[in-house]
Every structure is written in C-alpha cells, then in structure tokens.
C-alpha cells in the first residue's frame, strides 16, 4: 500500500460513522469502525468470505493484529481442522429435503 492509499484509508476511517463498514478492493474484506472505548479509537478488519460473490455469513471475523491473522491461519491450515469440518459437513451439512410423492 503506497502513502496516498494509506492517507485515503485513514481519512475514510476518520469520516466513517460508528459501526460503519467500509468496502475495500479485496472481495470479502472490510474495515469496520466501532465506537471509541476509553477515548481510544479501535478499527477492525472484517473477513466475510463469499461464495460466487455472495456473502454466506451475516457477520464476519474481526481482526485487529497480524498475530491474530497468524493464529487463524495456523488453525485453518491444520489438516485435522479440515478433516473435522469435512466430517461435520458430511453428517450435518445442508441436505436436500426428500420429495414425498402423494
């Protein structure tokens, strides 16, 4: 990100209303400005994955630090996490309701 882009980002955040979600050029990635807490302005990056351009979650994952990104990345890249989700999806995923002939 160049200096001009950084300045534009900071300006957009400063002008945003509380809880406003700012779009980014990255699909599924937003910047969210919550209310100040103890006179400190916090800002989150929200990850809201999409499938075929449509968000599939109402709320996304809020991140504040690169350490959080690394921690989630480690969890998501763990093969056992993938295996667990595959089993849950197999047994409890969305299934088509059988059509009953009358």
Question: Percentage of the chain surpassing pLDDT 90?
Answer: 54
Q: Is residue 102 part of a domain?
A: no
Q: Please say whether the dihedral angle defined by the alpha carbons of residues 10, 16, 18 and 24, taken in this order, is positive or negative.
A: negative
Q: Is the pLDDT of residue 16 over 90?
A: yes
For tokens 């050029």, name the residue. 25
Q: Is residue 101 part of a domain?
A: no
Domain range enclosing 22:
1-63
Residue 13: CB partners within 8 Å, gap ≥ 6?
Answer: 22, 31, 33, 43
Cα(4)–Cα(84) distance, rounded to whole angstroms? Answer: 44
Is 26 found in the same domain as 5? yes
Q: What is the DSSP letter of 31?
A: E
pLDDT tier at 96, thresholds 50, 70, 90: low
Cα(33)–Cα(43) distance, rounded to whole angstroms? Answer: 5
Is 52 found in the same domain as 8? yes
Is 58 found in the same domain as 33? yes
Is 7 found in the same domain as 27? yes
pLDDT digits over 32-78, tens only? 999 998 988 899 999 988 888 787 777 889 999 999 999 999 999 99
């Amino acid at each position: 990100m160049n200096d001009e882009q950084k300045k534009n980002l900071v300006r957009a955040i400063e002008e945003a209303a509380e809880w406003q979600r700012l779009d980014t050029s990255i699909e599924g990635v937003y910047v969210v400005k919550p209310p100040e807490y103890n006179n400190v302005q916090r800002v989150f990056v929200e990850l809201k994955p999409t499938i075929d351009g449509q968000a599939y979650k109402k709320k996304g994952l809020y991140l504040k630090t690169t350490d959080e990104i690394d921690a989630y990345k480690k969890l998501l890249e763990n093969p056992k996490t993938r295996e667990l989700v595959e089993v849950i999806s197999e047994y409890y995923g969305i299934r088509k309701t059988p059509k009953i002939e009358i």
